[in-house]
Amino acid sequence: MATLSYSEQRQRAYFAAARALYRIAAQVLNDTQTDAEYRNLATVEWVKNQSKITMDRGRELEDKGHEECVAEPRALNALQRAKDEHSQAIDALLERMKASRAAA
């Protein structure tokens, strides 16, 4: 393995932190599972806000990583997979909420 420059090392650290935050944002959405949570608008708003705040923080770190140097496709793919997990969590949350409302 070639020695990484300091900027490459920083970029990897920023990207790793961004991926972790993206996964936490998805986890916030996935942890909302009960009908009682879906009926409480304050809870739904809190979940949406926490997920958005966490995604925004991840994007800030990703942007800092891009400022360091040109990213390798492999790193970009890993970031996209983490964002896709969040997108899937949004879709799953919406489906659970829809099913909960239909059952009510």
**1 lies in some domain:** no
Domain count, the chain: 1
Q: Exposure string (b/e) for 75-85, b if CB count within 10 Å is 16 or more? A: beebbeebbeb
Query: Residue 14 is inside which H or E element, if any?
Result: helix 6-30
**23 lies in some domain:** yes
CA–CA distance, 24 with 82 (Å, rounded to integer) = 10
Domain that holds residue 96: 6-103
31 phi and psi angles, rounded to 5 deg: -75, -10
**22 lies in some domain:** yes
41-62 pLDDT per residue, tens: 899 999 999 999 999 999 999 9
Residue 11 has a pLDDT of 98
pTM, to two decimals:
0.92
**14 lies in some domain:** yes
